[in-house]
Structure 1
Amino acid sequence: MIKKIFKYIPLLILVLTASCADSNKNKATFFGGKIINPKTKYVVLFAMDKVIDTILLDNKNKFLGKFNSLNEGLYYFEHGNENQYIYLEPNDSLMLRLNTWDFDESLVYAGKGAERNNILVDIFLEDENDGRSYYKLNKLKPNAYKRKIDSILNVRLETYKTYAENHTNETDNYFKLLKIALTYPIYSRIERYPINHKRINRENNFIQVEKSFYDYRNHIDFNNDSLMYYTPYTKYIRNYLYNITYALGHKPLKNQYSSDFTVDLLKSINDKISSENSRNAFLKSTVLDHFYRKSSCSINKETFDAFFKYSTNEKDKNLINNILNDGEALHRGDEIKDFIFFDFTEQPINVQDFVINKNSLLVFWNEDYFSKEFLSSRIPYLKNKFPDLNIAVIEIDGNSLNRIPNVDIKNQYYINTKNLKNNFLTSGMPRTILVNKNGIVENGYASIASQNIYYQLKQLTKNN
């Protein structure tokens, strides 16, 4: 206990400093803390998808933001490629301490607002750590599974009751969020039960469950825009939508979703989500996820027609239109030519020279959709699996300074899309192109995140 107290003395000093800084001024909200082993020189605070502030670290890796008119609600902060949620109220002085080497496990809060945020972290960690034991429950028959899950739910609701009784000063909105944090991850697992039960028991069809199995659905709010970026909420809604779509009679799917399933899923989203913002967000994420999962430039017209029918977001429609046009601009059977990219010595390289007599993997990326951390693990893995493959990882509208760790510098490049003829990257979205040694496109819209990429690369490299 003494060691723990001394560990947090610097954090407590920072809390006291923030609390006293403007004692005569009013209602400011403070958010700050200390980052050990920082990945960047700043912390970014978000409300939904909007940046509230970018707060710089000082020379001791501490940061402190002051907000004079912050509304009560759920926010999240981002540092490096990691993020975590926080619940802030006016007058809070919330200070954190974390070590990026163990981001979530080391995260602890002090100051005004700390208790409500520490319990949210504890719930998150419990869900992360108990995943394996939950998964084993899927072996059980429906009644036995439901008894086990109900007992877990009862424990969680007791946690909620105890916290509420001991923290009567918390707001109704926070209590709603706390209950969601505690229960929705369990509800999400119930929605996944038919899929997981089939998989873990190696069965051919989904197990049948009674209607009462999903009684909790009567208490779900499917249209809370303020929680659209809160993972426990969105994960539950997504699992629910997939489950009710499978229940329409679709058979279990393996590597990719059929066009019929995707069309029915988009209809389920349209029918069940009445909030326009949330509905559009789910429509967009679904059509993109299924397209990239397929890892192919072949277009299922019915899928995209359904998206355009249901979505009311013109920006999203333009993005999808650009992806479709990009696919038409360069697809299977085309000769790859007429563009230049640059290596990190800023020397231009003609794509035809790059792919000549080599089976090639061209990975176009940007940080809005692919993190460096993902690429730094994925590209070396693919290089190891396919050592003779000619690989170019090309940043869209990038530069020679934005290097990816753990990826050979000789495989890293960048491109200026403004100078492209017949532009095949107008959407700015990631695009992976497989080119055979004759310079002919074998797959114009592959995806290195898809399971299908392994078979596609085997086919590409089998005739060296």
Structure 2
Amino acid sequence: MTRKIFNYIALSYLLLAITGCNTSKENSNTFFGGKIINPKTKYLVLYAKDKVIDTLLLNDRNNFLGTYDNLEEGMYYFKHGNENQYIYLEPKDSLMLRLNTWDFDESLVFAGKGAERNNILVDIFLEDEYERKLFYKLNKLKPKAYKNKIDSIINFKLGTYNTYLETHPNETDEYFKILKTALTYPIYSRVERYPINHVYTNKKKDFPKTDESFYAYRKELDYNNEVLMYYTPYARYTTNYLYNLTYAKGHKPMKDEFSSDFTVDLLNTISSEINAKESKNAFLKRTVLDHFYRKSSCNVNQEAFDVYFNLSSNDKDKSLIKSILEDNKVILKGDEIKDFSISDFTNQAIHIEDFTINKNTVLLFWNKENISKPYISSRIPYLQKKYPLLNFAIIEIDGNNTNRIKNIDIKNQYYINSKQLDNNFLTSNMHRTILVDKNGIVVNGYAAISSYNIEKQLKELSKIN
């Protein structure tokens, strides 16, 4: 708390320095600025929904400032490095932030007009992070005892909401919706996850039995708010709700991968429960992709994809999924890996047959638009350490020798020009991992490093003599 008070005082001086000399005409605009300690990059990106609003450059003192005309009230979020956080902006706000990237969320504090409503949102976020450990323990409880605990927590959250409502009568109705969502939806989200978490925590095979009162709160919630769908607490709740409804159709608990029947039922549940067109299409796309990658195999659940194509109305999304399915037909299990080259960071081309000969190999093809460098830089070293006998190649699709990933040896980094492939297996630009044995034979044509199944697949690959 002392550190936050210090940051607030320092930020108040910064606010005066940045906005103090502006004219009254300029003060009718909306300001968003601040200071970043130990910056990861020289800029910060501001988003509305999934669209970039502005890229804000840091000056030599690591300060930044954006000025906006006719800015709409609502939720935005900013990204710096591989971290992000939400902010709520209204016209004529002068919102200034201060944060230290070494302690990103915990150090974040706001000053200026609009600060109070954003500081409480950050506090709620931090409290929710703290509560994760508590809920892990609560998942062990039987339904009735769990429900009693949840009711008590919800009443406390609503008390916080009502107090803020009474002491801040000038806040808008739209902000109060966000505040209530931030306070309560993470709790409701965990209630929707309770059945599956109870099974995992207690190592059971069947879901606990609950009655209608267990989900009584559902009657009060809105499942089709297009704006809130971009706010993590709301989107996470909706996802957990849809999965829980699908499990209730008679499916057994699943962990490593979802059956084709479950995926089909989930896609139909999304279609029936979500009316907002943009949100429905987003959930359909994410579901069919997540389940495909979770499987970590080139074996396709064709019925699930057929249902997806029938339900989605987004032609761009459907084109991407079709490209993935076409890519999946090129380089299958049992094929010999051959007829293309990868380039190292000295621009030296290496035939893939030479790279894999006498080495059990993991080929990760990636594109920065579809998988993040920070994720690769944390995931791959972990897998390399756990499976030291495997030969790893991290290959950027249509990249070059300048886009290096930190924490990964440069000797393991390569790039490929997909346009020069005779049989292009990377048309979608989506990440794809191919597992090859030391004889150059593909043992998995479409693995995924994010899957639960990848480790047992790598373990088996390590054993091949």
TM range (shorter): over 0.9
Higher alpha-carbon deviation: 1-10 or 269-278: 1-10
Deviation at 1:24, TM superposition (A): 3.0
- Counterpart-to-counterpart distance in 2, 1:31 and 1:69: 13
Deviation at 1:229, TM superposition (A): 1.7
Residue 13 of structure 1 aligns with which residue? Answer: 13
Residue 341 of structure 1 aligns with which residue? Answer: 342
Deviation at 1:46, TM superposition (A): 0.3
Q: 1:351 to 1:177 in 2, by over 3 A?
A: same
**One-letter code of the match for 1:390?**
N
Q: 1:7 to 1:259 in 2, by over 3 A?
A: closer
Contact 2:360–2:464 (Cα < 8 Å) also in 1: no
Residue 37 of structure 2 aligns with which residue? Answer: 36
Contact 2:360–2:390 (Cα < 8 Å) also in 1: yes
Q: 1:301 to 1:177 in 2, by over 3 A?
A: same
Deviation at 1:4, TM superposition (A): 6.0
TM-score, L = length of structure 2: 0.97
Deviation at 1:421, TM superposition (A): 1.5
Q: 1:326 to 1:3 in 2, by over 3 A?
A: closer
Runs of at least 5 residues in structure 1 that lack an aligned partner in the other structure:
none
**One-letter code of the match for 2:84?**
N
Residue 57 of structure 1 aligns with which residue? Answer: 58
Q: 1:2 to 1:269 in 2, by over 3 A?
A: closer
Q: 1:277 to 1:4 in 2, by over 3 A?
A: closer
Residue 121 of structure 1 aligns with which residue? Answer: 122
Deviation at 1:7, TM superposition (A): 4.0
Contact 1:361–1:432 (Cα < 8 Å) also in 2: yes
Residue 143 of structure 1 aligns with which residue? Answer: 144
**One-letter code of the match for 1:421?**
D
Deviation sequence 1:161-205 (CA, Å, 0-9, x none): 011111111100000111011110010011111111122122210
Q: 1:238 to 1:335 in 2, by over 3 A?
A: same
Contact 2:7–2:98 (Cα < 8 Å) also in 1: no
- Counterpart-to-counterpart distance in 1, 2:359 and 2:254: 35
| 1:189 equivalenced with 2:190 (yes/no) | yes
Residue 271 of structure 2 aligns with which residue? Answer: 270
- Counterpart-to-counterpart distance in 2, 1:21 and 1:305: 58
Deviation sequence 1:343-389 (CA, Å, 0-9, x none): 11111111111111211100011222222221112111111122121
Residue 295 of structure 2 aligns with which residue? Answer: 294
- Counterpart-to-counterpart distance in 2, 1:158 and 1:134: 20
Q: 1:2 to 1:348 in 2, by over 3 A?
A: closer
Residue 311 of structure 1 aligns with which residue? Answer: 312
**One-letter code of the match for 1:141?**
K
Secondary structure (helix, strand or coil) at the match of 1:105 reads helix
Deviation at 1:87, TM superposition (A): 0.4
Deviation sequence 1:94-124 (CA, Å, 0-9, x none): 0000111111111110100000001111111
Q: 1:137 to 1:3 in 2, by over 3 A?
A: closer
- Counterpart-to-counterpart distance in 2, 1:353 and 1:202: 46
Q: 1:381 to 1:449 in 2, by over 3 A?
A: same
Q: 1:347 to 1:3 in 2, by over 3 A?
A: closer
- Counterpart-to-counterpart distance in 1, 2:296 and 2:7: 49
Contact 2:42–2:57 (Cα < 8 Å) also in 1: yes
Contact 1:431–1:447 (Cα < 8 Å) also in 2: yes
Contact 2:437–2:464 (Cα < 8 Å) also in 1: no
| 1:432 equivalenced with 2:433 (yes/no) | yes
Deviation sequence 1:33-81 (CA, Å, 0-9, x none): 1111111110000000100000000001110001112100100000001
- Counterpart-to-counterpart distance in 2, 1:67 and 1:20: 17
Considering only aligned residues, what root-mean-square deviation do their CA atoms show, in Å? Answer: 1.4
Deviation at 1:8, TM superposition (A): 3.6
Residue 175 of structure 2 aligns with which residue? Answer: 174
- Counterpart-to-counterpart distance in 2, 1:172 and 1:319: 39
Contact 2:344–2:413 (Cα < 8 Å) also in 1: yes
Deviation sequence 1:382-420 (CA, Å, 0-9, x none): 111221211100011112111111111100011111212
Residue 390 of structure 1 aligns with which residue? Answer: 391
Residue 401 of structure 1 aligns with which residue? Answer: 402
Contact 1:19–1:93 (Cα < 8 Å) also in 2: no
Q: 1:321 to 1:2 in 2, by over 3 A?
A: closer
**One-letter code of the match for 2:404?**
R
**One-letter code of the match for 1:236?**
Y
**One-letter code of the match for 1:207?**
P
Q: 1:2 to 1:297 in 2, by over 3 A?
A: closer
Contact 1:45–1:76 (Cα < 8 Å) also in 2: yes
| 1:164 equivalenced with 2:165 (yes/no) | yes
Q: 1:164 to 1:435 in 2, by over 3 A?
A: same
| 1:329 equivalenced with 2:337 (yes/no) | no
Contact 1:38–1:100 (Cα < 8 Å) also in 2: yes
Contact 2:7–2:109 (Cα < 8 Å) also in 1: no
- Counterpart-to-counterpart distance in 1, 2:335 and 2:299: 14
TM-score, L = length of structure 1: 0.98
Higher alpha-carbon deviation: 220-229 or 42-51: 220-229
Q: 1:286 to 1:22 in 2, by over 3 A?
A: farther
**One-letter code of the match for 1:14?**
L
Residue 95 of structure 2 aligns with which residue? Answer: 94
Q: 1:82 to 1:4 in 2, by over 3 A?
A: closer
Contact 2:36–2:63 (Cα < 8 Å) also in 1: yes
Deviation sequence 1:306-337 (CA, Å, 0-9, x none): 11011000000000000000000221111112
Deviation at 1:461, TM superposition (A): 2.0
Contact 2:370–2:429 (Cα < 8 Å) also in 1: no
Contact 2:4–2:109 (Cα < 8 Å) also in 1: no
Contact 1:181–1:232 (Cα < 8 Å) also in 2: yes
Q: Percent identity?
A: 66
Deviation at 1:6, TM superposition (A): 5.0
**One-letter code of the match for 1:12?**
S
Deviation at 1:227, TM superposition (A): 1.6
Runs of at least 5 residues in structure 2 that lack an aligned partner in the other structure:
none
Deviation at 1:3, TM superposition (A): 7.5
- Counterpart-to-counterpart distance in 2, 1:53 and 1:8: 25
